[in-house]
Amino acid sequence: MITQILSNFGVTWPHFIAQTLLFLIALYVLSRYAYAPILNILEERRKRIEEGQLNAEKIKKQLAEAELRYQEVLRKANDDAQILVEESRKNNEAFSQREMDRAVKESAAIVDRARAEIASERVRMVDEVKREMVSLVIKTTASVAGKVLTQDDQKRLTEEAQKSLAA
């Protein structure tokens, strides 16, 4: 019954066994020398992309921490200035108007210096984060594209990343 059905479809056992062996050999060769290396390359690229995303998150976190430090320094400077102003107000009766003006000027100078330091520190940190992001974008793009980027490609990617970060 089964033999008759197989013969109706043109299946002969020697050919069937030979074709099965050839298929298994071809499957083995392809899986060992073609599929496995391709899968390894894809896995490596996936890991690189994950690393890039983790680095981007890390940089965002550092930027947020820098912003918090900036706010803390500004708050502390304002508190210090307020303390100086309050002390100068309490001692107003004991000091002349000239001493009062001097204390106010000192507190303003402290606040101005603190703001200037904070502003320069913030600008420096933002520039550093931008440089890191641009470098990360270039590395990630090169990894994903799978080629070495030319100077023009790197310059274009740098400009695009800076515009994106500025927004």
User: pLDDT per residue over 54-72, tens digit each?
Assistant: 998 998 998 899 889 889 9
For helices 97-145 and 151-166, angle between their N-to-C axes, nearest 10 degrees: 140
CA-to-CA separations, 30 to 11, 35, 102, 112, in angstroms, rounded: 26, 6, 85, 71
Q: Is the pLDDT of residue 11 over 60?
A: yes
pTM of the model: 0.35
Q: What pLDDT sits at residue 104? A: 84
Cβ neighbours for 119, distance < 8 A, ≥ 6 positions apart: none
CB neighbours (10 Å) of residue 48? 15
What is the number of alpha carbons within 13 Å of residue 16 lying toward its C-beta?
8
Residue 146 pLDDT level (bands cut at 50, 70, 90): low
Q: Among 135, 130, 137, which Cα is nearest to 162's?
A: 130
Q: How many CB atoms lie within 10 A of CB 161?
A: 19
Residue 165 confidence (pLDDT) above 80: no
Q: What per-residue confidence (pLDDT) applies to 94?
A: 65
Inform me whether the pLDDT recorded for 92 exceeds 90.
Answer: no
Q: Is 8 a residue whose pLDDT tops 60?
A: yes
Q: What is the pLDDT of residue 144?
A: 67
For the chain, how far is it from start to end, CA to CA, in angstroms? 76
Q: What is the tens place of the pLDDT at every residue in 95-142? A: 667 777 888 899 999 999 999 998 999 888 888 877 787 777 767 776
Pick 26 or 11 by higher pLDDT.
Answer: 26
